Structure 1
Amino acid sequence: MKPSGKIAQVKTQSNHPDSFITIKTKNTMKTTIKISALALAFAAFSFGAKAQSTTASTTTNSGVRLSVGVDAGIPVGSFNDTHSWTLGGSVQADLPVAKQLFVTVNAGYDNYFGKSISNTSLNYTDIKLIPVKAGLKYFLVENLYVQGEAGASFLTNKKDLGATKSTLFAYAPQVGVLFPVGGKSFIDAGIRFEGNSALVDNGKSLNLIGLRLAYAFGL
């Protein structure tokens, strides 16, 4: 059967787009290397944070902080069978409520790139999401924080995927480092686990390990 240009999730006993089967061509080592690269990048920024002389406090409730960043990630679990990586961008506002504690509001756009299976004509359709989340960011020390967010991801190509849902529940615990680059400006580097609910009832979740690298500035 020749697949159409749709998600082609290899439907078994169901016409649901994300009734995933285990594709044996999954390269576990390749995935491990990619995740390790993200972890090493995060470690490098952590080291850089220690080396910087603080020009502005990251933890005081002196005002709103905005950040604009690039988001990238690697799907994990059964989602990795069909999609290889993600790329997008986001804008976030950190609103101070107490020393070391901020309320966060985050919105962005993410593209989950579908895989092409070797030696077949099988191509998985990209998944395009607009995530909107809110949560809390708490600084354990001056530059190191933990963050948790929850919200919704809006599917923009529902018809192409044959999905039954256009809004997915999303959540994202994160750990990160904020270090000064001058004045009220900072580089914000964070690594997170992000989960999105399934495209259909009783389907598989869309989970990933992600990295956000952003330029942040105080107002």
Structure 2
Amino acid sequence: MKKKVMKGLVTLGLFLAVAVGAKAQSKDDKVTTDRPAFLLSVGPEAGIPLGNLKDHYNWTLGGSVQADYALVKRTLYINLNAGYTNIFADNTPGLDDLQLIPVKLGLKYYPFSNNNVYIQGQAGVSFITNSTGVYNDKSAAFVYTPQIGYLIPLGKGNYLDAAVKFDGNSKFVDGGTSNNVIGVRVAYAFKL
């Protein structure tokens, strides 16, 4: 499964590179004004654990809802993201999947006025819903998420939001290590 996720990450990265290159050839400056002032997106997220987390967990799957609101000329947005993530355990006896509910606040910035490439940073808390079942002594952990993505127009205020992201979670147990995941988010977005 890790190979499939990694292939998906590489494919998405190549897709973003081609899309950005194609848009960079365009002289259309209307993109900034075409971006909605308020955007809501819903979609799945998948990833692979990194570091010590990958020793006992194989992959992640979840989903999230995100609201973006323009602060400055539809190039800088504030956003709120909430979701659910399941980190699937390997076959270690007595080890359960890890289930998180991340809630994050952040900023999204479109550095180019003529295309929809963005960088985003978020921070918040991941609530561990099954902390007693996975031998954790904490019920919440700090999470931060840098992300790079592309907002693909589908027409009439609808978009596909495709992004590569890194989720960094603080320690789930005292004396443990951070728990990091690299993944993708592909969401259907629409203006409100």
List gaps (5 residues or longer) in structure 2. Answer: none
Match of 2:87 in 1: 112
- In terms of Rg, which structure is larger? 1
> Structure 1 residues 96, 50: CA separation in 2 closer, same or farther (over 3 Å shift)?
same
Who is 2:70 aligned against?
96
TM-score when normalising by structure 2: 0.87
Instruction: Give the match for residue 38 of structure 2.
Output: 64
Distance 1:97-1:44 versus aligned 2 partners, 3 A rule: same
1:212 corresponds to which of 179, 185, 191: 185
Runs of 5+ consecutive residues of structure 1 not aligned to the other structure: 1-29
Residue-pair matches, total = 185
Which residue number in structure 2 is paired with residue 180 of structure 1? 153
Residue in 1 aligned with 2:52?
Answer: 78
Q: What residue number does 2:9 align with?
A: 38
Give the aligned CA root-mean-square deviation in angstroms.
2.4
Is the 2:151–2:160 Cα contact (8 Å) retained in structure 1?
yes
Structure 1 residues 33 and 71: CA distance shift in structure 2, 3 A = closer
- Establish whether residue 47 from structure 1 lines up as the match of residue 21 from structure 2: no
Helix, strand or coil at the partner of 1:195? strand
**C-alpha distance in 1, partners of 2:32/2:156?**
11
Listed one character per residue, the Cα deviations across residues 6-44 of structure 1 (whole Å, up to 9, x for unaligned) are xxxxxxxxxxxxxxxxxxxxxxxx857743531222322
1:151 paired with 2:124, answer yes
Q: Deviations over 1:162-202 (max 9, x none)?
A: 21100100000000000100111110000011111111112
| 1:207/1:170 CA distance change after superposition, 3 Å | same
Distance (Å, rounded) in 1 between the aligned partners of 2:161 and 2:89: 28
Match for 1:68: what amino acid?
V
CA distance in 2, matches of 1:153, 1:41: 26
Cα distance in 1 between the residues matched to 2:35 and 2:105? 18
2:128 maps to 1:128: no
- Tell whether the 8 Å contact from 1:58 to 1:178 is kept in structure 2 after alignment: no
Distance 1:110 1:62, change over 3 A: closer
**TM superposition score normalised by structure 1:** 0.77
Matched-pair identity in %:
44
Q: Aligned to 1:35, what secondary structure does the other structure show?
A: helix
